[in-house]
A and B are shown apart, each in its own frame.
Chain A
Amino acid sequence: NAGVTQTPKFQVLKTGQSMTLQCAQDMNHNSMYWYRQDPGMGLRLIYYSASEGTTDKGEVPNGYNVSRLNKREFSLRLESAAPSQTSVYFCASSDHNRAANEKLFFGSGTQLSVL
């Protein structure tokens, strides 16, 4: 019963390097999300995918790209990492086929440092 799985758990990058954060869910949820969490800022939505084949920008999309590979997987890519992207990144999923469709299930996070 894995839920939402994120990899890697920790990553250190140099400015300008690229990387992809992976996320997979096994709950057959339609919607998936990427959030970042910074001290004093709470959780902020980067991108979301309401259903397989669709993606949309959230509150802070600049510097990121996403791919909804299939119903299970939603990846987040940093093309040219910047120190301002140092953060903890959370993937989440939800099932909009249910009445209470705003219940998000989160992964355990990726702690990213950009030097």
Chain B
Amino acid sequence: QKEVEQDPGPLSVPEGAIVSLNCTYSNSAFQYFMWYRQYSRKGPELLMYTYSSGNKEDGRFTAQVDKSSKYISLFIRDSQPSDSATYLCAMIGGTSYGKLTFGQGTILTVHP
């Protein structure tokens, strides 16, 4: 079993829809949780970053972490065609110094 599980999709939604992306994990040591966005033929770029449990909002994006359930989510409100990309969850614990553990990535397409 992988430490981090993410539904690869693909996920296709109409413009304006609310999108929910999710990851589950098994390692209780994970403390930092991230979402990266990766456009086709590009490197991942950091989208959201949270520490421990709770919610964090940034514009149309909301990241949620539930450590008790070992579950993290990324919500995208009012989705736009420009949101079409692969979304990767990533997490790390303790003093692992950037040795992130990534989910497999979810391919999202927002169609006009």
Contacts and interface: CB of A to CB of B under 8 A. Distances in A.
Instruction: Indicate, yes or no, whether A interacts with B.
Output: yes
Given A41-B104, A43-B88, A109 B43 contact: yes
Q: What size tier do the contact residues of chain B reach?
A: 20 to 34
Given A102-B100, A106-B44, 11 more contacts: A4-B43, A31-B97, A42-B102, A42-B105, A43-B44, A90-B43, A90-B44, A102-B32, A102-B34, A103-B34, A103-B46
Contacts of B105: 42
Contacts of A45: 99-100
Interface stretch (A13-21, A74-82, A93-101): A93-101
A53 interface: no
Contact of A104 (B4, B100, B103, B104): B100
A74 to B, nearest CB: 12
A108 B42 contact: yes
B98 interface: yes
B72 interface: no
Interface residues of A, number: 26
Contacts of B104: 40-42
Contacts of B4: 42
A90 B100 CA distance: 13
Interface in B52-105: 88, 90, 92, 97-100, 102-105
B21 to A, nearest CB: 14
Contacts of B99: 33, 45, 48, 58
Contact of A43 (B41, B42, B102): B102
Interface string A16-60: 000000000000000101000000111111001010000000100
Contacts of B88: 42-43
14 contacts: A33-B98, A33-B99, A40-B8, A42-B6, A42-B88, A43-B102, A44-B102, A58-B99, A101-B97, A102-B32, A103-B49, A104-B100, A106-B44, A108-B43
